[in-house]
Amino acid sequence: MTIIVAHRGASRMAPENTMEAYRLGVEVGADAIELDVHLTTDGQLAVIHDETLHRTTDRTGRVAELTMDEIREADAGARFERPDDSGQPFAGQGLRVPTLPEVLEWLPEPTGLVIEIKARAAADAVVQALNGHPAQAGGRISVISFDEGAIDRVRELDSSIRTGYLVAPGQSLDEAFAWASGRGHTGVHPWEGDLGADPLTILAQAKILGLEVSCYVVNDPDRMQFLSDTGIRAFVTDVPDVAVETLRRS
């Protein structure tokens, strides 16, 4: 059964990378939550996609140059607009940029977690945060990155952590798969568009190399069903509610 991963939480229903988006992702039936991490200037793990605050909060500044306390002053619901709403329904509601330990503390069983390292400097702190966590011991957590050095560092520190290589759109899948396999990573995460109309050859190639394949970001129900029928392990989606309805309709 294809694993449905809520991309930055249920990010069409609530502000991306907030506890509310994660909670809603679980509520609608996602199997796992995907999130993004950066390191703050005081060594904490801020869960936010961009390296700056301005797109998703009411503050400005670079995450790497701010303390977690400073980042926590930002309203993480300030910018979100539902496509069918006027105004910002989450502005002023107390939503904050979470920390990775806060998400780990919350993570309900049996929900999985996909942690994308956006800044290589965060790798050591991520491994530290996962140390001894029951979801890590139970194989429910993966650490992924576009940055080869970030996931190599994670494996170097703790080879029991499942790691995945994010393949950028248009990047050679042959080369990416060979690299990930050679470095001992668990999986590869191509852009769904690069899987094309006939992903079976690509999936077979990954299987020979011992790699799991998950792709990003699938929001079209027909494409969800098609990819699921190929036996792909997982896909990331902004609309986990649509994915659950599409794949488990019977």
Binding residues for Ca ion (CB under 5 A)? 36, 116
H runs (alpha helix) in the chain: 19-28, 68-72, 100-106, 123-130, 134-137, 148-157, 173-182, 200-208, 221-230, 240-247
Residue 166: CB minimum distance to ligand G3P, A: 6
Residue 92: CB minimum distance to Ca ion, A: 26
d(CA 37, CA 129): 12
For 184, the token pair is 């001992």
| Residues 53 to 112 in contact with ligand G3P, rule: CB under 6 A | none
Interaction pattern, residues 187-216, with ligand G3P; x per rule: CB under 6 A: --x--------------------------x
Residue 118: CB minimum distance to ligand G3P, A: 7
The residues near 218 (Cβ < 8 Å, ≥ 6 apart) are 192, 224, 227, 235, 236, 237, 243
Return the number of the residue (177 or 216) whose C-beta is nearest ligand G3P: 216
d(CA 219, CA 221): 6
Return the number of the residue (50 or 58) whose C-beta is nearest ligand G3P: 50
Return the number of the residue (53 or 84) whose C-beta is nearest Ca ion: 53
Residue 235 lies near ligand G3P (rule: CB under 6 A):
no
Binds ligand G3P by CB under 6 A, chosen from 31, 75, 116, 238: 116
Residue 146: CB minimum distance to ligand G3P, A: 7
For 80, the token pair is 């979100």
What is the amino acid identity at position 192?
E
Residue 22 lies near ligand G3P (rule: CB under 6 A):
no
Q: Which does 166 bind (CB under 5 to 8 A by kind): Ca ion, ligand G3P, none?
A: ligand G3P
CA atoms within 13 A on the CB side of 85: 12
The residue behind tokens 């703050």 is 40
Return the number of the residue (8 or 153) whose C-beta is nearest ligand G3P: 8
β partners of residue 165? 145, 188
Using CA atoms of 151, 157, 163, 169 in order, give the dihedral in degrees to the nearest 10.
Answer: 0
Binds ligand G3P by CB under 6 A, chosen from 166, 167, 206, 247: 166
Residue 236 lies near ligand G3P (rule: CB under 6 A):
yes
Residues that bind ligand G3P (CB under 6 A): 7, 34, 36, 49, 116, 166, 189, 216, 236
